[in-house]
Amino acid sequence: MQQTATPMTFLTPVKPVEAQTWPVDEVLELFDLPFNELMFRAQVVHREHFPDADVELATLLSIKTGGCEEDCGYCPQAARYDTGVDAKKLMGLEEVLEAAKAAKDHGATRFCMGAAWRSPKDRDMEKVEAMVRQVKAMGMETCATLGMLKEDQAQRLKDAGLDYYNHNLDTAPEFYGNVISTREYQDRLDTLGHVRTAGLKVCCGGIVGMGESRRQRAGLIAQLANLNPYPESVPVNHLVQVEGTPLHGLDPLDPLEFVRTIAVARITMPKARVRLSAGRREMGDAVQAMCFMAGANSIFYGDKLLTTGNPDAQDDRVLLGKLGLKTRGVVEQGGCK
């Protein structure tokens, strides 16, 4: 996959948007600030909109793993790549509810269910709707990531009680073809439009460290910030390189560049929950601490994401405690219980 230099363009969501408030050049200017200045600006914005400085704990469960027909260059679940991930059937309801209960017992307030589909079939929708209804009945926020959605599918999920739908843009429009060829960028925007029309909240972010330039990272953030409205949740993933995928073997992204990405996301989307997602286990405590200073206030919590590793829940509790960060929904002050 060779990086190509093409002009920056914005693609059009399903519904028209207001005038863009974050041109790519302005986002790039934020990236280019001296590090301390950028961190200071991000902290000012963060404290204004999140005075409690709490961290949301969200748990992600792969309810249907592997066998995906897409060719996303980062993904070990693509059937065409030999990554050691076997295709599995959709999990049963009881197994999902058991995982949700365990997540809640460990302090998670949001439970996200992910399936390795290009898009769900009708026979799958009924089963997922049942999962959503019963997880919601447990008192947790519900989220799902199931691939591309039609309008009626988004509405069915809303009717079942889904709170958030995750559908990432992954990268800037002009770099997208370097990573994925089996769906268009506009397909992703169309799904986000269906999700908004149904009245669902949007969880949408991307992946950095896939060989993109800083300007292309700025392009991703601008694309997210100029959605109308911008996402309520913005997961920022650091590429976890998996042997067998096309992106394995890339030079790793400088950790401070990742921290800059978090800070710029906070400044441009001030009210969003900016989530540290994939790649935390490789970051170490110091980089994660800087990310929290830069405005991150959500993490995926639990020892596994869809297929890749994640810090142990106990390790996260220790880190948040050392940093004096409380968690959303936890009454105790001064740390994570």
Query: Would you please indicate which residues are annotated as catalytic (active-site) residues?
Result: 68, 72, 75, 112, 143, 203, 275
Estimate the crossing angle of helix 280-293 against helix 35-49, to 10 degrees. 70
Residue type at 64 in one-letter notation: K
Total Cβ atoms within 10 A of residue 26: 14
Q: Closest Cα to residue 167, out of 202, 128, 196?
A: 202
Per the CB < 8 A criterion, the answer to whether 74 and 239 are in contact is yes
Contacts of 209 (CB under 8 A, 6+ apart): 238, 239, 250, 252, 253, 258, 279
Distance, CA of 225 to chain centre: 14
Token pair listed for 33: 């600030």
Per the DSSP assignment, residues forming a β-bridge with 234 are 274
Token pair listed for 212: 């993109």
- Residue 240: what are its φ and ψ, rounded to 5°? -100, 110
Q: What is the DSSP string of 26-90?
A: HHHHHHTS-HHHHHHHHHHHHHHH-TT--BEEEEEEEEE-S-B----TT-TTBTTS-SSPPP-PP
Containing 142, the helix (H) or strand (E) segment is strand 141-145
Total Cβ atoms within 10 A of residue 191: 25
CA angle 73, 276, 300 (to 5 degrees): 90
